[in-house]
A and B are shown apart, each in its own frame.
Chain A
Amino acid sequence: MNKFLDLFIKLGSVDRRIIFVLIAVSVTVPLIVSVDKDVRITANSQAVFDTVQELPVNSKVLISFEYGPSTKPEIHPMSLGLVEHIFRNGHKICATALWPDGNFMSTETFNTIAPKLNKKYGIDYVNLGYKPGAEAVIKGIASDIATLYTKDLKDNVLGAIPMMKDIKNINDFDLVISLSAGFPGTMEWVQFACDPNDIPMCSGCTSVQVTEVLPYIENGQVNGVLAGMPGAAEYEQLIREEFTDMDRSSAMALKGMPAQSIAHIVIVLAIALGNITYFIQKNRKK
Chain B
Amino acid sequence: MFTIEIIGVWLAVLLTFSIFSYLYDDNPFYKAAEHLFVGVSAGYVAAISFWQQVQPNLFGRLWPQIDPQTELSIFGKAWYFIYDVFGWITSLFGILERGVFPKGGIEGHSDIRIIYVIPFILGIFMLLRLFPKVGWLARWAIAYIVGMASGLRLYAYLNSNVIEQIKASGVDFSADWFTIINKIIILVGTIAGLMYFFFSKEHKGVVGKISRIGIYFLMISFGAHFGFTVMGRISLLIGRIYDLIKFSVAQYYNATFWIMGIMIIILAIWAFKKDKQKQPEVV
Contact = CB atoms under 8 A, between A and B. Distances in A.
Interface of A: 17, 20, 23-24, 27-28, 31-32, 70-74, 100-101, 103, 129-133, 135-136, 139, 148, 150-151, 157, 187, 190-192, 195-196, 206-208, 210-211, 215-216, 218-219, 221, 227-230, 252, 255-256, 259-260, 263-264, 267
Interface residues of B, number: 45
Given A230-B231, A263-B234, A218 B168 contact: yes
B235 A74 contact: yes
26 contacts: A20-B23, A23-B234, A27-B237, A27-B238, A28-B241, A31-B238, A72-B239, A73-B239, A73-B242, A101-B44, A130-B52, A151-B108, A187-B160, A191-B157, A191-B159, A192-B156, A207-B235, A211-B225, A219-B164, A229-B231, A229-B238, A230-B231, A256-B239, A259-B238, A259-B241, A264-B234
B91 interface: no
B97 to A, nearest CB: 16
A105 B24 CA distance: 31
Interface stretch (B53-61, B205-213, B263-271): B53-61
B236 interface: yes
B45 interface: yes
Contact of A208 (B44, B161, B228, B242): B228
B224 A228 contact: no
Contacts of A256: 235, 238-239, 242
B70 to A, nearest CB: 19
B236 A221 contact: no
Interface in B42-87: 44-45, 48-49, 52-53, 56-57, 60
Nearest to A16: B23
Nearest to A75: B235
A29 B191 CA distance: 47
Contact of A17 (B24, B52, B160, B245): B24
Q: Which 10 A-B pairs have the closest CB atoms?
A: A73-B239, A150-B108, A207-B232, A219-B168, A191-B156, A229-B235, A207-B228, A207-B231, A191-B160, A256-B238
